[in-house]
Amino acid sequence: MQMIYCTCNVNVLTELIDLVEKCNVHDYQVIDRVIAKNRKGAPRFNTSVWPGFNATLLMQVKEEDKVKSILEQVKEKNAGSMNEDELITVCTWHLDDYIFE
């Protein structure tokens, strides 16, 4: 099982959720109002100097094909973006345990 962590400008969150749902992942957690300084794009500290904020989407996914699909879809979306402030950051790691019963 993999943990998938995605973070993006809050303006892109709906598109990210749609992307995840199209990959048949329907269980996820959203953390909104995440302040961030990203490698690309302007910082988003939700202040008058650095307005805006990120949102984070976390998913625990068992099926490897779904993990690969999400990664491919995010890469494709990022490649088509002309605005660095709308890029999605994604990373994954292996979960040794996941208890939800």
Residue 46 lies in a domain: yes
CB 63 within 8 A of CB 1: no
The 10s digit of each residue's pLDDT in 8-45 is 999 999 999 999 999 999 999 999 999 999 888 889 99
- Overall domain count for the chain: 1
The enclosing domain of 47 has a CATH number of 3.30.70.120
Q: Which domain holds residue 65?
A: 2-94
Please tell me the distance from the alpha carbon of residue 100 to that of residue 93, in angstroms, as a whole number.
18
Beta-carbon contacts of 15 under 8 Å, excluding residues fewer than 6 positions away, are: 77
Residue 19 lies in a domain: yes
Residue 101 lies in a domain: no
Closest CA to 5 of 62, 67, 98: 67
Confidence at 2, pLDDT banded by 50, 70, 90: very high
Q: Is the pLDDT of residue 101 over 90?
A: no
Residue 99 lies in a domain: no
Residue 72 lies in a domain: yes
Q: What pLDDT, on a 0 to 100 scale, did the predictor assign at position 39?
A: 87
Q: What pLDDT, on a 0 to 100 scale, did the predictor assign at position 10?
A: 95
